[in-house]
Amino acid sequence: MKKMIQHGLAIVDSPYDEDGKKRTLVNKLLLGLTPSQYLLQAFRNPFNWILAAIFAIGIPILIGRFFFGLAWATSGSNDYPWGLFLGFGLFAMVPLSSSGFQLGTACEIFGRHDLEPIERLALLNGLLGYFFAVMYLLADLGQPWRLPYPMVVSFGPAAVLFLVAWHVATYLSVQVAEVSTAFFEWIGFPAGKRGVRKITLGLTVSGIILSTLHQGALGALFTYAPGKVHPLWYSSSFQWLHFFVSSLPGGLCMVITVSTIAAKTMAWRGDSRFREKLDKVTVSLAKGACMGIATYITIKLIAIAHDNKWAYLDTGWGQWFMLEIIVGFMLPLTLMTYGVHTRKMAIVRLGAFMTVFGVVLNRVNTAMITFNWKLPHREIPPWREVIISLTIFATYIVVYRFILYRLPILYKWRQQEQEETVPEAVPAPALGRREASSIPVASYSSMTKLD
């Protein structure tokens, strides 16, 4: 894309092309390129070749899992019922997606409008993370076609998993609604956008409720198995708090991670607002994440003291636990605090990457590695399970990128219709910003002559 823009391609960021004609949906989907140009830029990207290789191997195996059963694809044993699909896909993806409700809360409830350049990215990160957690779940369920059963057929309301199912389902729809404003802008349906905006506060508050509950509920799931999860990762009183609190820095750091990757790999897609405000916003997010990590480490220590589990720290498991805490939480806390104070963005971002790693490691540790720690053998995921997990994650990246390329997530959609429908809105700043932007502009027809 960068090359095309250098050649003078106009970026799609309004309903009209440079000749003032309304863009068609296909035109928007192809990023304003002709089909051949679109394919050309897709082929030129080496990352696409890696993805193609993953899908070529992974998709047949994913399909095979549904034809030959779980035993064919996973380690699926009676002692370790939950493997990589849930241990990584569900338990790690969900905390990394708590960004939606946090930024929603900050912007809509606390009125932190300075964070708005990242709000939509955080909402999208939340939606996609949850959606793909459900995809992992579908791959793992013995009878995935019965997924709606807890909603419609048979109820087990005393079960924590019942809460998880209902909350994830309702929260997914809340997130779809929250992200839909960007989609409505993009397809040109201002009435839909206004409708959603009217209920934004309601959606945001439901987002907080549902997130608190099911982030915690995922932790509470393990309180059904006292003695199975290693005591250092288990606490019947604090398990839900551990999961909930660690999801806060997890989600914020995931947004830092994703925005860093987006700023590096698709700089053309962010507008000047995103590019200029990114460092400032990252500092704000990192500050929030630091508070979250500090709280998390504190309650982790309280939990050890509460059940008097200090002796376990002096074992092999204890070393593994300390590694998780130090590399995944304490070190990033130090790095981010230092980075925020000295405004060294690279260090802040490194700390954020490490926090993401720490949260994932914590979930994998709780759900898989330390699960059934008293049994003599440990489960190592077989290659098909690893490939399926990788394939679903690659799909997540593809969908994420597909949306970021198109919808107004990192940039503002120049919405002419808004002038007619919302008379109070001042169109001047939007126009001014457009003129100020340094993106070279050329007509669509001159572009086609290039090839």
Partner 1 sequence: MKRRNFLKACLIGGTTIALGKTNKGYASGSFEGYPEAMGVLVDTTRCIGCRSCEAACNKEQKLPEPDTSFDDPAVFEHDRRPTSKAYTVVNRYQKEQPSGPVYRKVQCNHCNEPACLTSCFVNAYTKTQEGAVIYNSKVCVGCRNCMIACPFNAPGYDYDSATNPIVKKCILCYDTRLKYGKPPACVEICPQEALTFGHRADLIKLAHERIRATPERYVDHVYGEKEVGGTSWLYLAPVGFDKLGFDTTLSNDPIISNVKDFLGMVPMVLSIWPALFSGIHLLCKNQEHGEHGHETESNQEDTKP
Is residue 208 within 8 A of residue 101, CB to CB? The reply is yes
Q: Got the DSSP string for 127-167?
A: HHHHHHHHHHHHHH-SSGGGTTHHHHT---TTSHHHHHHHH
Tokens 């057929």, residue located: 153
Instruction: Single out the residue of 81, 190, 192, 382 in contact with partner 1 (rule: CB under 8 A).
Output: 81
336 touching partner 1, by CB under 8 A: no
Task: Provide the CA 341 distance to its chain's centre, in angstroms.
Answer: 27
Instruction: Single out the residue of 82, 189, 357, 444 in contact with partner 1 (rule: CB under 8 A).
Output: 82
Task: Provide the CA 173 distance to its chain's centre, in angstroms.
Answer: 16
| Nearest approach, Cβ of residue 303 and partner 1 (Å) | 12
In whole angstroms, what is the distance from residue 198 CA to residue 410 CA?
A: 23
Q: How many residues bind partner 1 (CB under 8 A)?
A: 78
**Given CA atoms 46, 47, 48, 49 in this order, what sign does their dihedral have?**
positive
| Nearest approach, Cβ of residue 162 and partner 1 (Å) | 4
| Nearest approach, Cβ of residue 107 and partner 1 (Å) | 6
68 touching partner 1, by CB under 8 A: yes
In whole angstroms, what is the distance from residue 346 CA to residue 375 CA?
A: 43
Instruction: Single out the residue of 20, 26, 158, 311 in contact with partner 1 (rule: CB under 8 A).
Output: 158
| Nearest approach, Cβ of residue 398 and partner 1 (Å) | 27
| Nearest approach, Cβ of residue 87 and partner 1 (Å) | 12
Q: Interface residues for partner 1 in 164-183 (CB under 8 A)?
A: 164-165
Instruction: Single out the residue of 27, 34, 180, 223 in contact with partner 1 (rule: CB under 8 A).
Output: 223
Q: Interface residues for partner 1 in 183-212 (CB under 8 A)?
A: 197-198, 200-202, 204-205, 208-209, 212
Which range touches partner 1 (CB under 8 A), out of 15-23, 220-228, 325-333, 443-451?
220-228
386 touching partner 1, by CB under 8 A: no
| Nearest approach, Cβ of residue 117 and partner 1 (Å) | 9
Residues 6+ apart with CB under 8 A from 242: 219, 235, 296, 299, 300, 303
Q: Interface residues for partner 1 in 109-128 (CB under 8 A)?
A: 109-114, 116
70 touching partner 1, by CB under 8 A: yes
Is residue 115 within 8 A of residue 103, CB to CB? The reply is yes
Instruction: Single out the residue of 163, 278, 283, 410 in contact with partner 1 (rule: CB under 8 A).
Output: 163
| Nearest approach, Cβ of residue 40 and partner 1 (Å) | 37
If we measure between CA atoms, which residue out of 176, 170, 174 comes closest to residue 202?
Answer: 174
Q: Which is nearer to partner 1, 26 or 158 (CB)?
A: 158
Residues 6+ apart with CB under 8 A from 366: 91, 219, 222, 229, 233, 234
Q: Interface residues for partner 1 in 422-451 (CB under 8 A)?
A: 422, 424-426, 429
Q: Which is nearer to partner 1, 239 or 395 (CB)?
A: 239
421 touching partner 1, by CB under 8 A: no
Is residue 89 within 8 A of residue 133, CB to CB? The reply is yes
Q: Which is nearer to partner 1, 224 or 338 (CB)?
A: 224
60 touching partner 1, by CB under 8 A: no
Q: Interface residues for partner 1 in 231-290 (CB under 8 A)?
A: 236-237, 239-240
If we measure between CA atoms, which residue out of 327, 445, 383 comes closest to residue 72?
Answer: 383
In whole angstroms, what is the distance from residue 274 CA to residue 409 CA?
A: 10
105 touching partner 1, by CB under 8 A: yes
Is residue 32 within 8 A of residue 9, CB to CB? The reply is yes
Instruction: Single out the residue of 58, 126, 129, 150 in contact with partner 1 (rule: CB under 8 A).
Output: 150
| Nearest approach, Cβ of residue 404 and partner 1 (Å) | 20
If we measure between CA atoms, which residue out of 231, 223, 173 comes closest to residue 202?
Answer: 173
Which range touches partner 1 (CB under 8 A), out of 317-325, 355-363, 398-406, 419-427?
419-427
| Nearest approach, Cβ of residue 239 and partner 1 (Å) | 8
Is residue 57 within 8 A of residue 46, CB to CB? The reply is no
Is residue 359 within 8 A of residue 252, CB to CB? The reply is no
47 touching partner 1, by CB under 8 A: no
Amino acid at 194: R
Length of the chain: 451
311 touching partner 1, by CB under 8 A: no
Q: Got the DSSP string for 253-309?
A: HHHHHHHHHHHHH-GGGS-HHHHHHHHHHHHHHHHHHHHHHHHHHHHHHHHHHHTT-
| Nearest approach, Cβ of residue 225 and partner 1 (Å) | 5
Q: Which is nearer to partner 1, 8 or 226 (CB)?
A: 226
Residue 45 DSSP symbol: -
